[in-house]
Chains A and B, each alone.
Chain A
Amino acid sequence: MSQSFGSFGRRGVLAGGTALSLFGASAEAAGRTRYITANNNPYDILDPHQVFDIGRIAIRLNMYDALVRWVDNPPKLEMWLAEKVDISADGLVYTFTLRPGVKFHDGSPLTADDVVYSMERILGIKKGAYGLFADVVKPGTTKAVDPRTVRFTLNKPFAVFQAVLSELWVVNSKVVKAQEKNGDWGAEWLTRNEAGSGGYRLRRFDPAIGFQAERFEGHFMPFGKGAVDDADFRVSMETATRVLGMIKGEFTTTDGYMPAEQVQRMKESGNVWFKEAESIRTFYFIMNHAKAPMNDVNLRRAISCMFDYEGFNNNILGGTVVRNPGIIPNPMWGAPKDLKGYSYDIDKAKWYLSQVKEKLRTIQIGAMAGYPQSEQAAQMLQAGAAKAGLDIKVVAEPYTTIAPKLDDPERAHDLIPLWRSAYFADPHNWTGFLFNSRNFKSGNASFYKNPRVDELTDQALVITDQEKRRPLYEEVSRILVEDAVGLFVNNTKFYGPYAKSVKSVRFCPIGDTQDLRWIEMNT
């Protein structure tokens, strides 16, 4: 690979690919480890600041670094690019000291200027994780004190600031600036190229296929024995293809959220082993409180008694999930251990229905087309409601159609079955973000307003001590169930399939096991 770094134009990427085929032949002889992931989402945009989703997280985790990083389950936040942090007493000023000697893939040093540029870039292109920072960080307020010190000044206390900094992926500012075109922050270029410091370096990219990366020996964090040398991430939409590929050994791993039947089939082949873990990804129905009669707590309680939780979790999903009575996932701190949710009880549902003061009408569920579980949950609730005498209509729309309506209580569906994944592991992700009335039109798609919940979640954002925040979130959880704010169904279990060539993996709900540096292969 005599190709000069940093010149990853379209041509450059292809040249890298040609070099690879020569390299690939000798690579096997040299006993390099190879790890092929089949993903059910396309890896079509490489820019870490344009996307903020689970489907493409492998790009960010492997080719980029942030000041902090999540590891293990339940997730812990570790210092990563940063060595230490000082937080002012008022919780407004965060001063991070960077690790010495961190290098980008082109060999140039990573400095505080790059961190500042990355923050400004997120605020500037207003995509991806912008929403996490927009409220508290204003453009121009982030300063490089010296090459190893960066200072953030918030305009109000935000206890989860460190937690969300895991999404401040640091890009090589010199390289990206050189590619800027009419103030686009180099967006067009970075969509297809890479300018990071992460453990893996881009070798080849095709939006229709995926990307290939090789281990970056110059990374500040040493790799363990049996670390992955060559990584290959490919899109493969069809479940059957991914399963077949695992059985035949064409893929090293694929997604860990398959139907029970497919998991069984892979197990029976004898070629695949599984890593099981309870993740932090709750499945629930958003309820739109803004439209009568959904504003009536007894109707919401009635609906919560119409869903066959057992039948759904254990029969339809074959026990691949765990009942989660509240919104905060069971393993997460802040979820009360003794929380009692609703259970499937048609008689109780009928009783609650009789207490409803508002005039009843047909309730509409907006299921997410293309997500079988969302559609199946809708059908499940519809059938239960029919037994209790409530008329429910299901529509299935792609997320692209559902999402815009979430801003407008009049157009939004009454109920929407979906997941709330972990982008950062803090109870705020499931409570304040989703149910504080300040977040109408951004996170709070329920249009739920409860002064006590507002107060508790606001308070919890000002205190930084986790043990003091815990009771606040536990109280919020109880109120949300008492008010039947949503219909809380389950928490997802991860069943990650691996080829026998993989010795061990380290699971973290943020990115599952896609952070390759923790993988150990048999050599």
Chain B
Amino acid sequence: MKTLRRLARDRALVTGMVIVSLLVLAAIFATPLSNFPGHVTGFDPAFRLKPPGEVFWLGTDRMGADLYSRLLFGARLTILISISATAVAVLIGVPMGLVAGYFDRWYSDLLMRVSDVFLAVPQIVLAIAIAQTLGPAIQNVILALSATYWPFWARIVYAETRSLRNEVFIEAAIAMGASPLRVMVLHVLPSIASSIIVRTTIGMGATILAAASLGFLGLGAPPPTPEWGRMIAESREFLPQAWWYATAPGIAILLVVMGFNLLGDGLRDAIDPRIRRGS
């Protein structure tokens, strides 16, 4: 109860939570909320590039589709990409970090060196190369992002597992004859879960930014997918007249990434009061 009250007092955390919930709501209720649900794929060329007004709240795009409706459906895509990409990255990174950290064998070092290799080049560069190779599609964006972001989880889990390795409760479990798998899953994992959750929340924000960049560079989902980064790229040809075209999706990205970052920061503060003093 006390924790909850403390959480509620943390403005950053609450703001983050509100933004993320709004995103989720927008994604779930995109159809009833939108003015022109048909404009995910449809449009009306007669209303091309109209400024924001009563009918088209956020204006229309180069085909004559309602930007507000497309923005809502874009939220769905954003959630889909960021959840899947981080999930895959977690599924690769966490086991790797656990194994490398728990056992002190030759392959521990090797696994960590492999993750170093992936970290030796800017993530976005590698992601661009992979996305271009696989071809522009949502599932490839997800793949490119998870293939480049997993080392972050591997490193954090590795470091935490290492420091837990000599804790009394772990040694006790081993002494009682628990198998390594059991120790890892039942004892180590719960103790480091909070770090993983924090890292994942912040990772969601990073993934959304990276996915939008790929979309912007033309390596994301094809038209007419209402992907936010792609919408901004489309607008460039019509600047400065169609100022509204890039504005709305840009603000949407900003808010959502901010939401996840605030949520991540807030969770970290709540979970680990030691760091709280510092941030």
- Name A residues whose Cβ lies closer than 8 Å to a Cβ of B: 238-240, 259, 261-262, 265, 308, 311-312, 315-316, 367, 369-370, 372, 375-376, 378-380, 382-383, 386, 394-398, 401
B236 A395 Cβ-Cβ under 8 A: no
Query: Are A395 and B135 closer than 8 Å at their CB atoms?
Result: yes
Bitwise, B213-249 to A at CB < 8 A (1) or not (0) is 0000010001110000000001011111110000000
What CA separation (Å) do A281 and B42 show in the bound complex? 28
Judge whether B218 and A396 touch: CB under 8 Å.
Answer: yes
Interface size class of chain B, counting residues whose CB lies under 8 Å from the partner chain: 20 to 34
* A372 interface neighbour in B46, B136, B237, B239, Cβ under 8 Å: B237
Q: Are A369 and B46 in contact (CB under 8 A)?
A: no
Chain B residue with the shortest CB-CB distance to A265: B241
Q: Does B76 have its Cβ within 8 Å of any Cβ on chain A?
A: no
**Among candidates A261, A315, A386, A394, residue contacting B42 with C-beta atoms closer than 8 Å:** A386
Q: List 19 A-B contacts (CB under 8 A).
A: A239-B239, A240-B236, A261-B49, A261-B238, A261-B241, A261-B242, A315-B48, A316-B63, A367-B222, A367-B223, A375-B222, A375-B223, A376-B63, A378-B223, A379-B41, A386-B42, A394-B222, A396-B223, A398-B132
The answer to whether A379 touches B223, judged by C-beta atoms less than 8 angstroms apart, is: yes
Could you tell me the distance between the alpha carbons of A19 and B223 in the complex, rounded to whole angstroms?
Answer: 50
Q: Which B157-194 residues sit within 8 Å CB-CB of chain A?
A: none
Nearest neighbor of A369 in chain B, beta-carbon distance = B218
CB pair A312–B45 under 8 Å, yes or no, is yes
Interface of A is mostly: helix
**Choice from A262, A265, A372 contacting B234 with Cβ under 8 Å:** A372
Chain A residues within 8 Å of B19, by CB:
none
- With A315-B48, A367-B223, A370-B218 as given contacts, are A383 and B42 in contact (CB-CB < 8 Å)? yes
- Chain B interface main SS type: loop
Chain A residues positioned under 8 Å from B118 (CB to CB): none
Write out the residue numbers on chain A whose beta carbons fall within 8 Å of the beta carbon of B238. 259, 261-262
Query: A240 contacts which chain B residues (CB < 8 A)?
Result: 236, 239-240
Partner of B45, one of A261, A316, A382: A316
List the A side residues contacting B223 at CB < 8 Å: 367, 375-376, 378-379, 394, 396
B60 → chain A, closest Cβ, in Å?
12
Q: Across the interface, which residues of A come within 8 angstroms of B49, CB to CB?
A: 261
Contact with A along B131-157 (1 / 0, CB 8 A): 010011100000000000000000000
Q: Is B64 close to A, CB under 8 A?
A: yes
The complex places the Cα of A411 from the Cα of B160 at a distance, in Å, of: 48
A370 — nearest CB in chain B belongs to which residue? B218
In the assembled complex, the Cα of A259 lies from the Cα of B237 at a distance in Å of: 8
CA distance in complex: A241, B42 (Å): 31
